[in-house]
Amino acid sequence: MMFKKSQKLYKKGLVNLVGAVNSPVRAFSSVGGNPLFIKKAKGSKIVDVDNNEYVDLVLSYGPMILGHRHKKVQKAITKSLKNGYSFGASTENEIKLAKIVCEAFPGMDKVRFVNSGTEAVLSGIRLARAYTGKDKIIKFSGCYHGHQDALLVAAGSGLATLSLPGSKGVPEGAVKNTLIAEYNNLESVKAHFEKHDDIAGVIIEPVAGNMGVVTPKDNFLKELKTYLASKNALLIVDEVMTGFRSKFGGAQELFDVEADITCLGKVIGGGFPVGAYGARNEIMEMVAPLGGMYQAGTLSGNPIAMAGGIATLTELKKQNPYDQFNETASILEVFLLESAKKYGVEIKVNRFGSMINPFFTNKEVINFEDAQTCDTNKFATFFWEMIKNGVFLPPSQFEAWFLSSTLKDKDLEKISKAIDAGMLAVSKL
Protein backbone atom coordinates (compact mmCIF):
# COMPACT_ATOMS: atom_id res chain seq x y z
CA MET A 1 0.00 0.00 0.00
CA MET A 2 1.39 3.40 -1.02
CA PHE A 3 0.62 6.76 0.53
CA LYS A 4 2.67 8.93 -1.86
CA LYS A 5 0.01 11.46 -2.76
CA SER A 6 -1.22 11.75 0.81
CA GLN A 7 2.36 12.41 1.91
CA LYS A 8 2.76 15.06 -0.76
CA LEU A 9 -0.49 16.78 0.16
CA TYR A 10 0.40 16.61 3.82
CA LYS A 11 3.63 18.52 3.17
CA LYS A 12 1.76 21.04 1.04
CA GLY A 13 -0.97 21.35 3.65
CA LEU A 14 1.51 22.19 6.38
CA VAL A 15 2.23 25.56 4.75
CA ASN A 16 -1.14 27.23 5.11
CA LEU A 17 -3.07 24.92 7.38
CA VAL A 18 -2.31 24.15 11.00
CA GLY A 19 -0.78 20.67 11.02
CA ALA A 20 -2.43 20.23 7.58
CA VAL A 21 -5.76 19.51 9.30
CA ASN A 22 -8.82 21.46 10.31
CA SER A 23 -9.51 19.40 13.41
CA PRO A 24 -6.74 17.94 15.59
CA VAL A 25 -8.42 14.50 15.78
CA ARG A 26 -7.60 14.10 12.09
CA ALA A 27 -3.87 14.46 12.70
CA PHE A 28 -2.04 11.17 13.27
CA SER A 29 -0.18 12.52 16.30
CA SER A 30 -0.72 9.49 18.52
CA VAL A 31 -0.29 6.78 15.87
CA GLY A 32 2.64 8.29 13.96
CA GLY A 33 2.94 8.80 10.24
CA ASN A 34 1.03 11.27 8.09
CA PRO A 35 -2.71 11.76 7.92
CA LEU A 36 -4.48 10.32 4.90
CA PHE A 37 -6.08 12.64 2.39
CA ILE A 38 -9.44 11.46 1.12
CA LYS A 39 -10.64 11.61 -2.44
CA LYS A 40 -14.14 10.20 -2.22
CA ALA A 41 -16.45 7.80 -0.46
CA LYS A 42 -19.49 5.72 -1.31
CA GLY A 43 -21.55 3.38 0.85
CA SER A 44 -19.35 1.60 3.38
CA LYS A 45 -16.11 2.50 1.56
CA ILE A 46 -13.75 5.44 1.55
CA VAL A 47 -10.93 6.03 -0.94
CA ASP A 48 -7.78 8.07 -0.34
CA VAL A 49 -5.93 10.18 -2.90
CA ASP A 50 -3.59 7.25 -3.66
CA ASN A 51 -6.67 5.19 -4.60
CA ASN A 52 -6.38 2.92 -1.56
CA GLU A 53 -9.84 1.74 -0.62
CA TYR A 54 -10.90 1.15 2.98
CA VAL A 55 -13.96 -0.04 4.83
CA ASP A 56 -14.82 3.17 6.66
CA LEU A 57 -15.27 2.90 10.43
CA VAL A 58 -14.72 6.63 10.96
CA LEU A 59 -17.81 7.76 9.06
CA SER A 60 -16.92 11.39 9.64
CA TYR A 61 -16.92 10.57 13.40
CA GLY A 62 -20.50 9.45 13.24
CA PRO A 63 -22.71 11.47 10.90
CA MET A 64 -22.60 9.05 7.95
CA ILE A 65 -24.76 6.46 9.67
CA LEU A 66 -26.38 5.40 6.37
CA GLY A 67 -22.98 5.14 4.72
CA HIS A 68 -21.65 7.69 2.24
CA ARG A 69 -23.78 9.32 -0.43
CA HIS A 70 -26.99 7.47 0.24
CA LYS A 71 -29.16 7.84 -2.85
CA LYS A 72 -32.06 9.50 -1.09
CA VAL A 73 -29.87 12.00 0.73
CA GLN A 74 -28.03 12.86 -2.45
CA LYS A 75 -31.31 13.39 -4.26
CA ALA A 76 -32.73 15.62 -1.52
CA ILE A 77 -29.72 17.92 -1.32
CA THR A 78 -29.37 18.15 -5.09
CA LYS A 79 -32.97 19.24 -5.30
CA SER A 80 -32.50 21.77 -2.52
CA LEU A 81 -29.33 23.20 -4.12
CA LYS A 82 -31.34 24.27 -7.14
CA ASN A 83 -33.40 26.65 -5.02
CA GLY A 84 -30.48 28.51 -3.47
CA TYR A 85 -27.98 28.03 -0.68
CA SER A 86 -28.90 30.37 2.15
CA PHE A 87 -31.56 33.02 2.64
CA GLY A 88 -31.35 34.56 6.09
CA ALA A 89 -35.04 33.77 6.46
CA SER A 90 -37.09 30.75 7.45
CA THR A 91 -37.84 27.78 5.20
CA GLU A 92 -40.40 24.98 5.46
CA ASN A 93 -37.69 22.33 5.82
CA GLU A 94 -36.67 23.78 9.19
CA ILE A 95 -40.17 23.04 10.47
CA LYS A 96 -40.05 19.53 9.02
CA LEU A 97 -36.71 18.65 10.60
CA ALA A 98 -37.83 20.19 13.90
CA LYS A 99 -40.91 17.96 13.91
CA ILE A 100 -38.87 14.82 13.25
CA VAL A 101 -36.45 15.70 16.05
CA CYS A 102 -39.11 16.68 18.59
CA GLU A 103 -41.09 13.51 17.91
CA ALA A 104 -37.99 11.40 18.50
CA PHE A 105 -37.21 13.08 21.85
CA PRO A 106 -40.31 13.38 24.04
CA GLY A 107 -38.52 15.85 26.34
CA MET A 108 -38.21 18.32 23.46
CA ASP A 109 -41.22 20.49 22.64
CA LYS A 110 -39.11 22.98 20.75
CA VAL A 111 -35.71 22.89 19.13
CA ARG A 112 -33.23 25.49 17.85
CA PHE A 113 -30.89 24.53 15.02
CA VAL A 114 -27.26 25.64 15.05
CA ASN A 115 -24.22 24.68 12.96
CA SER A 116 -22.24 22.24 15.09
CA GLY A 117 -22.29 20.12 18.20
CA THR A 118 -20.07 22.64 19.95
CA GLU A 119 -22.62 25.38 19.33
CA ALA A 120 -25.47 23.12 20.44
CA VAL A 121 -23.78 22.42 23.78
CA LEU A 122 -22.60 25.95 24.51
CA SER A 123 -26.14 27.17 23.86
CA GLY A 124 -27.60 24.37 25.98
CA ILE A 125 -25.33 25.38 28.87
CA ARG A 126 -26.30 29.03 28.49
CA LEU A 127 -29.93 27.97 28.51
CA ALA A 128 -29.52 25.93 31.71
CA ARG A 129 -27.95 28.96 33.38
CA ALA A 130 -30.62 31.30 32.04
CA TYR A 131 -33.43 29.06 33.21
CA THR A 132 -32.11 28.26 36.69
CA GLY A 133 -30.40 31.59 37.36
CA LYS A 134 -27.41 29.60 38.63
CA ASP A 135 -23.87 29.58 37.26
CA LYS A 136 -22.09 26.32 38.01
CA ILE A 137 -22.07 23.31 35.70
CA ILE A 138 -20.84 19.82 36.51
CA LYS A 139 -19.20 17.79 33.77
CA PHE A 140 -17.67 14.33 33.87
CA SER A 141 -14.01 13.66 33.40
CA GLY A 142 -13.39 12.16 29.94
CA CYS A 143 -16.62 13.51 28.42
CA TYR A 144 -16.16 15.84 25.47
CA HIS A 145 -18.73 18.50 24.76
CA GLY A 146 -17.15 20.51 21.97
CA HIS A 147 -14.45 23.13 22.25
CA GLN A 148 -16.20 25.90 24.19
CA ASP A 149 -14.00 27.43 26.90
CA ALA A 150 -16.15 26.47 29.89
CA LEU A 151 -16.10 22.74 29.13
CA LEU A 152 -12.56 22.35 27.86
CA VAL A 153 -11.39 20.66 31.04
CA ALA A 154 -10.83 16.92 31.45
CA ALA A 155 -12.33 16.58 28.00
CA GLY A 156 -11.49 13.18 26.56
CA SER A 157 -10.18 11.97 23.21
CA GLY A 158 -8.67 14.88 21.31
CA LEU A 159 -7.01 16.19 24.45
CA ALA A 160 -6.12 12.75 25.84
CA THR A 161 -4.53 11.82 22.55
CA LEU A 162 -2.40 14.94 22.59
CA SER A 163 -1.81 14.61 26.35
CA LEU A 164 -2.94 18.18 27.00
CA PRO A 165 -4.36 18.77 30.46
CA GLY A 166 -6.84 21.34 29.15
CA SER A 167 -6.17 24.03 26.63
CA LYS A 168 -4.04 27.12 26.46
CA GLY A 169 -5.99 30.28 25.90
CA VAL A 170 -8.80 29.32 28.23
CA PRO A 171 -8.83 31.90 31.04
CA GLU A 172 -9.28 30.67 34.60
CA GLY A 173 -12.42 32.74 34.81
CA ALA A 174 -14.00 30.72 31.99
CA VAL A 175 -13.69 27.43 33.88
CA LYS A 176 -14.18 28.65 37.42
CA ASN A 177 -17.84 27.62 37.25
CA THR A 178 -17.05 24.17 35.86
CA LEU A 179 -16.93 21.29 38.35
CA ILE A 180 -15.59 17.85 37.42
CA ALA A 181 -17.19 14.59 38.53
CA GLU A 182 -16.33 10.98 37.81
CA TYR A 183 -18.35 9.09 35.21
CA ASN A 184 -20.58 6.34 36.63
CA ASN A 185 -20.13 7.76 40.13
CA LEU A 186 -23.19 9.53 41.52
CA GLU A 187 -21.45 10.17 44.83
CA SER A 188 -18.94 12.39 43.04
CA VAL A 189 -21.86 14.51 41.81
CA LYS A 190 -23.47 14.67 45.23
CA ALA A 191 -20.20 15.82 46.76
CA HIS A 192 -20.31 18.95 44.60
CA PHE A 193 -23.90 19.71 45.57
CA GLU A 194 -22.95 19.45 49.22
CA LYS A 195 -20.38 22.20 48.72
CA HIS A 196 -22.17 24.49 46.26
CA ASP A 197 -25.69 25.86 46.13
CA ASP A 198 -25.43 27.53 42.73
CA ILE A 199 -25.24 24.52 40.39
CA ALA A 200 -27.40 24.99 37.28
CA GLY A 201 -27.06 21.45 36.03
CA VAL A 202 -25.00 18.47 35.01
CA ILE A 203 -23.93 17.81 31.44
CA ILE A 204 -23.25 14.26 30.39
CA GLU A 205 -22.61 12.08 27.39
CA PRO A 206 -25.30 9.44 28.14
CA VAL A 207 -22.94 6.90 26.65
CA ALA A 208 -19.46 8.35 26.57
CA GLY A 209 -17.82 8.12 23.17
CA ASN A 210 -14.90 10.47 23.56
CA MET A 211 -12.76 8.38 25.92
CA GLY A 212 -13.50 5.31 23.85
CA VAL A 213 -16.96 3.86 24.37
CA VAL A 214 -17.97 3.86 28.04
CA THR A 215 -21.52 2.89 28.93
CA PRO A 216 -23.43 4.08 31.98
CA LYS A 217 -23.89 1.60 34.83
CA ASP A 218 -27.35 0.09 35.33
CA ASN A 219 -29.38 2.96 36.71
CA PHE A 220 -26.78 5.68 36.66
CA LEU A 221 -28.65 8.05 34.34
CA LYS A 222 -32.01 7.55 36.03
CA GLU A 223 -30.58 8.04 39.50
CA LEU A 224 -28.72 11.11 38.29
CA LYS A 225 -31.93 12.60 36.90
CA THR A 226 -33.89 11.91 40.10
CA TYR A 227 -31.15 13.37 42.23
CA LEU A 228 -30.88 16.52 40.09
CA ALA A 229 -34.64 17.05 40.18
CA SER A 230 -34.45 16.99 43.99
CA LYS A 231 -31.83 19.75 43.81
CA ASN A 232 -33.67 21.90 41.25
CA ALA A 233 -30.82 21.41 38.83
CA LEU A 234 -31.11 20.41 35.18
CA LEU A 235 -29.90 17.30 33.39
CA ILE A 236 -28.29 18.36 30.13
CA VAL A 237 -27.84 15.33 27.94
CA ASP A 238 -25.26 15.72 25.19
CA GLU A 239 -26.52 13.35 22.52
CA VAL A 240 -24.36 14.88 19.79
CA MET A 241 -22.80 11.46 19.28
CA THR A 242 -25.50 9.12 20.63
CA GLY A 243 -28.57 10.77 19.14
CA PHE A 244 -30.35 8.52 16.60
CA ARG A 245 -27.58 5.99 17.06
CA SER A 246 -28.73 3.18 19.37
CA LYS A 247 -32.40 3.94 18.97
CA PHE A 248 -34.16 6.63 16.99
CA GLY A 249 -34.82 8.45 20.27
CA GLY A 250 -31.16 8.24 21.27
CA ALA A 251 -29.73 7.01 24.54
CA GLN A 252 -32.63 8.65 26.38
CA GLU A 253 -35.08 6.24 24.78
CA LEU A 254 -32.84 3.26 25.41
CA PHE A 255 -32.23 4.09 29.08
CA ASP A 256 -35.70 5.49 29.62
CA VAL A 257 -34.54 8.81 31.02
CA GLU A 258 -35.70 12.25 29.91
CA ALA A 259 -33.26 15.14 29.69
CA ASP A 260 -34.23 18.66 30.68
CA ILE A 261 -32.10 19.94 27.81
CA THR A 262 -30.93 17.79 24.90
CA CYS A 263 -28.04 18.65 22.59
CA LEU A 264 -27.73 17.06 19.16
CA GLY A 265 -25.38 17.14 16.19
CA LYS A 266 -23.55 14.69 13.93
CA VAL A 267 -26.29 12.33 12.62
CA ILE A 268 -29.00 15.01 12.41
CA GLY A 269 -27.12 16.75 9.61
CA GLY A 270 -26.32 13.55 7.71
CA GLY A 271 -22.86 14.94 6.90
CA PHE A 272 -23.77 18.64 6.81
CA PRO A 273 -23.03 21.12 9.58
CA VAL A 274 -26.08 20.90 11.85
CA GLY A 275 -26.41 20.96 15.60
CA ALA A 276 -29.50 21.44 17.73
CA TYR A 277 -30.59 21.99 21.29
CA GLY A 278 -34.07 21.55 22.63
CA ALA A 279 -36.19 21.21 25.74
CA ARG A 280 -39.77 21.44 26.95
CA ASN A 281 -41.65 24.65 26.21
CA GLU A 282 -41.13 26.42 29.53
CA ILE A 283 -37.35 26.12 29.13
CA MET A 284 -37.14 26.91 25.40
CA GLU A 285 -39.28 30.00 25.91
CA MET A 286 -36.21 31.54 27.55
CA VAL A 287 -34.54 31.69 24.12
CA ALA A 288 -34.70 34.84 21.93
CA PRO A 289 -36.98 35.94 20.32
CA LEU A 290 -39.38 34.50 22.92
CA GLY A 291 -37.14 35.17 25.91
CA GLY A 292 -34.04 36.92 27.15
CA MET A 293 -31.38 34.33 26.34
CA TYR A 294 -29.62 35.43 23.18
CA GLN A 295 -28.36 32.93 20.63
CA ALA A 296 -28.20 33.40 16.88
CA GLY A 297 -26.60 32.20 13.64
CA THR A 298 -26.22 33.53 10.08
CA LEU A 299 -26.25 30.05 8.56
CA SER A 300 -28.38 28.28 11.20
CA GLY A 301 -31.05 26.08 9.67
CA ASN A 302 -29.22 26.21 6.35
CA PRO A 303 -31.55 24.85 3.66
CA ILE A 304 -29.11 22.32 2.16
CA ALA A 305 -28.20 21.03 5.61
CA MET A 306 -31.88 20.77 6.58
CA ALA A 307 -32.61 18.80 3.40
CA GLY A 308 -29.70 16.46 4.20
CA GLY A 309 -30.92 16.03 7.77
CA ILE A 310 -34.53 15.33 6.83
CA ALA A 311 -33.54 12.78 4.19
CA THR A 312 -31.09 11.07 6.56
CA LEU A 313 -33.47 10.82 9.50
CA THR A 314 -36.41 9.77 7.35
CA GLU A 315 -34.41 6.98 5.77
CA LEU A 316 -32.95 5.99 9.14
CA LYS A 317 -36.40 5.70 10.65
CA LYS A 318 -37.54 3.57 7.74
CA GLN A 319 -34.50 1.29 7.83
CA ASN A 320 -34.63 1.00 11.63
CA PRO A 321 -31.15 -0.59 11.56
CA TYR A 322 -30.72 -0.68 15.34
CA ASP A 323 -31.05 -4.45 15.83
CA GLN A 324 -28.69 -4.90 12.92
CA PHE A 325 -26.19 -2.51 14.53
CA ASN A 326 -26.24 -4.48 17.76
CA GLU A 327 -25.75 -7.71 15.88
CA THR A 328 -22.89 -6.34 13.77
CA ALA A 329 -21.21 -4.83 16.83
CA SER A 330 -21.48 -8.12 18.68
CA ILE A 331 -19.88 -9.92 15.73
CA LEU A 332 -17.03 -7.39 15.77
CA GLU A 333 -16.67 -7.83 19.51
CA VAL A 334 -16.22 -11.57 19.02
CA PHE A 335 -13.66 -10.98 16.25
CA LEU A 336 -11.69 -8.68 18.51
CA LEU A 337 -11.80 -10.86 21.62
CA GLU A 338 -11.05 -14.13 19.83
CA SER A 339 -8.21 -12.69 17.80
CA ALA A 340 -6.70 -11.02 20.87
CA LYS A 341 -6.93 -14.27 22.78
CA LYS A 342 -5.35 -16.20 19.94
CA TYR A 343 -2.27 -13.97 20.03
CA GLY A 344 -2.21 -13.42 23.78
CA VAL A 345 -3.04 -9.69 23.58
CA GLU A 346 -4.93 -8.20 26.52
CA ILE A 347 -7.91 -6.10 25.51
CA LYS A 348 -11.33 -5.03 26.76
CA VAL A 349 -14.11 -4.26 24.32
CA ASN A 350 -16.92 -1.78 24.98
CA ARG A 351 -19.81 -1.20 22.63
CA PHE A 352 -23.11 0.57 22.35
CA GLY A 353 -25.36 0.31 19.29
CA SER A 354 -23.27 1.30 16.30
CA MET A 355 -20.29 2.38 18.43
CA ILE A 356 -17.56 -0.04 19.50
CA ASN A 357 -13.87 -0.05 20.30
CA PRO A 358 -11.18 -2.21 21.86
CA PHE A 359 -9.10 -0.88 24.73
CA PHE A 360 -5.55 -2.19 24.96
CA THR A 361 -5.70 -2.76 28.70
CA ASN A 362 -6.55 -5.56 31.12
CA LYS A 363 -8.80 -3.30 33.20
CA GLU A 364 -12.58 -2.98 32.72
CA VAL A 365 -13.16 0.53 31.41
CA ILE A 366 -15.99 2.35 33.17
CA ASN A 367 -14.45 5.82 33.43
CA PHE A 368 -11.68 8.04 32.12
CA GLU A 369 -9.13 6.85 34.66
CA ASP A 370 -9.61 3.27 33.47
CA ALA A 371 -9.35 4.36 29.83
CA GLN A 372 -6.02 5.96 30.57
CA THR A 373 -4.53 2.60 31.56
CA CYS A 374 -4.46 1.72 27.84
CA ASP A 375 -1.22 1.06 26.00
CA THR A 376 -1.45 3.61 23.20
CA ASN A 377 1.68 2.19 21.50
CA LYS A 378 -0.18 -1.06 20.98
CA PHE A 379 -3.06 0.87 19.53
CA ALA A 380 -0.72 2.68 17.12
CA THR A 381 0.65 -0.62 15.81
CA PHE A 382 -2.84 -2.06 15.56
CA PHE A 383 -4.10 1.06 13.76
CA TRP A 384 -1.50 0.88 11.00
CA GLU A 385 -2.11 -2.85 10.42
CA MET A 386 -5.81 -2.08 10.05
CA ILE A 387 -4.99 0.65 7.52
CA LYS A 388 -2.66 -1.64 5.57
CA ASN A 389 -5.40 -4.26 5.51
CA GLY A 390 -8.00 -1.82 4.22
CA VAL A 391 -9.87 -0.63 7.29
CA PHE A 392 -10.05 3.09 8.10
CA LEU A 393 -10.18 3.69 11.87
CA PRO A 394 -10.07 6.89 13.93
CA PRO A 395 -6.35 7.46 14.67
CA SER A 396 -6.80 7.37 18.44
CA GLN A 397 -7.23 4.79 21.19
CA PHE A 398 -9.87 7.04 22.69
CA GLU A 399 -12.31 7.28 19.79
CA ALA A 400 -15.23 5.01 19.01
CA TRP A 401 -15.42 3.10 15.74
CA PHE A 402 -18.68 3.77 13.96
CA LEU A 403 -20.83 1.34 11.97
CA SER A 404 -23.03 2.29 9.05
CA SER A 405 -26.17 0.51 7.90
CA THR A 406 -24.47 -0.25 4.57
CA LEU A 407 -21.82 -2.58 6.02
CA LYS A 408 -21.87 -5.83 4.05
CA ASP A 409 -20.74 -9.34 5.00
CA LYS A 410 -17.74 -8.82 2.72
CA ASP A 411 -16.79 -5.71 4.68
CA LEU A 412 -17.01 -7.67 7.91
CA GLU A 413 -14.75 -10.35 6.45
CA LYS A 414 -12.22 -7.68 5.54
CA ILE A 415 -12.44 -6.16 9.02
CA SER A 416 -12.01 -9.59 10.62
CA LYS A 417 -8.85 -10.31 8.61
CA ALA A 418 -7.48 -6.87 9.40
CA ILE A 419 -8.13 -7.33 13.12
CA ASP A 420 -6.26 -10.62 13.01
CA ALA A 421 -3.29 -8.99 11.30
CA GLY A 422 -3.46 -6.16 13.84
CA MET A 423 -3.45 -8.43 16.88
CA LEU A 424 -0.62 -10.51 15.46
CA ALA A 425 1.46 -7.35 14.99
CA VAL A 426 0.65 -6.18 18.52
CA SER A 427 1.66 -9.58 19.95
CA LYS A 428 5.13 -9.13 18.45
CA LEU A 429 5.80 -5.80 20.20
Ligand X SMILES: *Cc1c(COP(=O)(O)O)cnc(C)c1O
Q: Which residues of 48-87 are buried (b: 16+ CB within 10 A; e: fewer)?
A: bbbebebbbbbbbbbbbbbbbebeebeebbeebeeeeeee
Q: Is 240 in the site for ligand X (CB under 6 A)?
A: yes
Nearer to ligand X by C-beta: 117 or 249? 117
Inter-CA distances, 242 with 9, 16, 383, 402, Å? 33, 34, 24, 11
Least Å distance, CB 400 to ligand X, is 9
Tell me the CA end-to-end span of the chain in Å, nearest whole number.
22
Nearer to ligand X by C-beta: 241 or 347? 241
Nearer to ligand X by C-beta: 304 or 345? 304
Per CB under 6 A, the list member of 65, 98, 121, 150 interacting with ligand X is 121
Closest C-alpha to 309, from 22, 119, 64, 34: 64
Q: How many residues touch ligand X (CB under 6 A)?
A: 15
CB atoms within 10 A of CB 88: 6
Per CB under 6 A, the list member of 146, 249, 250, 278 interacting with ligand X is 146
Residues 359-388 that bind ligand X (CB under 6 A): none
Least Å distance, CB 318 to ligand X, is 25
Catalytic residue among 54, 61, 144, 277: 144
323 assigned to active site: no
**Contact region for ligand X (CB under 6 A) — 141-149, 226-234, 245-253, 409-417?**
141-149
Nearer to ligand X by C-beta: 350 or 381? 350
CB 210 within 8 A of CB 204: no
Q: Is 145 in the site for ligand X (CB under 6 A)?
A: yes
38's CB contacts (< 8 A; 6+ apart) are: 46, 47, 48, 49
CB 202 within 8 A of CB 230: no
**Contact region for ligand X (CB under 6 A) — 14-22, 191-199, 235-243, 340-348?**
235-243
Nearer to ligand X by C-beta: 13 or 117? 117
Closest C-alpha to 131, from 284, 296, 289: 284
79 assigned to active site: no
Least Å distance, CB 205 to ligand X, is 5
CA distance linking residue 125 with residue 128, whole number of Å: 5
Closest C-alpha to 378, from 427, 344, 308: 427
Nearer to ligand X by C-beta: 202 or 240? 240
Q: Is 154 in the site for ligand X (CB under 6 A)?
A: no
CB atoms within 10 A of CB 105: 25
Q: Which residues of 256-290 are buried (b: 16+ CB within 10 A; e: fewer)?
A: ebbbbbbbbbbbbbbbbbbbbbbbbeebbebbeee
Q: Is 270 in the site for ligand X (CB under 6 A)?
A: no
Q: Is 209 in the site for ligand X (CB under 6 A)?
A: yes
131 assigned to active site: no
Q: Is 245 in the site for ligand X (CB under 6 A)?
A: no
State the catalytic residues.
144, 238, 266
| Binding residues for ligand X (CB under 6 A) | 116-118, 121, 144-146, 205, 209-210, 238, 240-241, 265, 275
